[in-house]
Structure 1
């Protein structure tokens, strides 16, 4: 599976980075009580923090809002997924358990303050490219509507667009039948490579402790824009 970043992205954001985790032989099921409890406690503590500090003041959220603007999108109209999750929690509208892959994906997104997508690789065909969308880029999303991704980052395969830091598509969603998955971390540009490696390794270890299988990580940058798993 070949994954690359379209080079035109670096013309607008030279320090742009993508983190990748490829999982093999995983089992997706109901989250264990330990994960449910840990996620609930994290959300309750985050809610208390957000009563004194707004969502948009948090460093990770703030940096991604600025990146949204750099690419020409409106961060107030099209909020990236990490900000949307935090805004829910700031209103005590806590996330409810779904299954282990989605629950962990949401937990990582809150913990690291960045958008993350997870995709069933058996639904993906051909090479994957991360690029910037236009008025013709879109798909049926997990939010139940067709989403146009003008000036929003997105991932595409041979069948077209399937993911973004805004909302993911139904086509590549992870289910309890998924055994191989790709997780895309839309890293903050300010994050150093060493920090990114540590973040991905920590997430990969926790994910496979719950779901089994094994994982491989990679970081894509301007100097290393392509990887093949």
Structure 2
């Protein structure tokens, strides 16, 4: 599987960096530690923002600008990270789905970056990041049919399946998901920041989502790679 970027983005005038990380996962109810971390991050962000609008967060503001350039009004179609932070700023309770999705929400809430959660086994062929065209839609998770025109989106051989606004039901994470793809939507974002988020994602998913036997295998592979480098 390859991840490609449509050449149209070269003419839009903003940096495009995608982070793609594959994790073997076991989907469960979120453990107490993950729930507590999300609640603590929510409190931290409330204190950090000091009543300011979620759209004033510098990372969210950059993503909103990318939406505008692509042709989507970010005040009607908010980046998922902005929608999550707005919920926190309004004092609404966080919602908890499962450990894999909640770990992504922890990452997004803390960084301001939209992230996508996908079941790799439901993706067909290579992935392309492109801008949605007229009459393109899909069933979004908890949102019904989404008008994709003007949205940066991910598509496979079957069609669009993910955006930094809302992901599709077709490739969503369920209790049967074992092969997970996390996408970091670095639209109008510096690559150094994206690399920091990828490192944080490794830590979060290793702690809360990767089965112990698979984690041991990954650690052994890393050790072997380091020995080969030496």
TM-score normalised by length of structure 1: 0.87
**Structure 1 residues 197 and 74, CA, compared in 2 at 3 Å: closer, same or farther?**
same
The equivalent residue for 1:148 is: 147
Give CA-to-partner distance per residue, 1:149-175, whole Å, 9 cap, x none: 111011111111110011111111101
Aligned to 1:199: 197
Offset at 1:14? 4.4
- For 1:4, the equivalent position in structure 2 comes to 4
Q: After superposition, where does 1:117-156 map in structure 2 within 5 Å? A: 117-156=116-155
Please list every run of 5 or more consecutive structure 1 residues that lacks an aligned counterpart in the other structure.
216-229
Query: What's the CA shift for 1:176?
Result: 1.8
Q: Is the 8 A contact 1:28 1:176 kept in 2?
A: yes
What CA deviation, in whole Å up to 9, does each residue of 1:74-124 have, x standing for no partner?
111111101111111111112122110110111111111011011001111
Q: In structure 2, the residue corresponding to 1:94 is in which secondary structure?
A: coil
Contact 1:51 1:90 in 2 (8 A): no
Matched, 1:102 2:94: no
1:20 alignment counterpart: 20
Is contact 1:120–1:172 with CA below 8 Å preserved after alignment?
Answer: yes
SS of residue paired to 1:36: helix
* Structure (1 or 2) with the greater helix fraction: 2
The number of residue pairs the alignment matches comes to 213
Deviations 1:8-58 (A, max 9, x none): 11210342111111113x211111101101111211232233343221211
Computing the radius of gyration over CA atoms, which structure comes out larger, 1 or 2? Answer: 2
Q: Secondary structure at the match of 1:186?
A: strand
1:74 is matched with 73
Aligned residue for 1:161, secondary structure, equals strand
Q: 1:185 to 1:66 in 2, by over 3 A?
A: same
Which 5+ residue runs of structure 2 have no aligned equivalent? 219-230
Comparing both chains, which one has the higher relative contact order based on Cα–Cα distances under 8 Å and sequence gaps of 6 or more? 1
Higher mean alpha-carbon deviation, 32-41 vs 7-16, is at 7-16
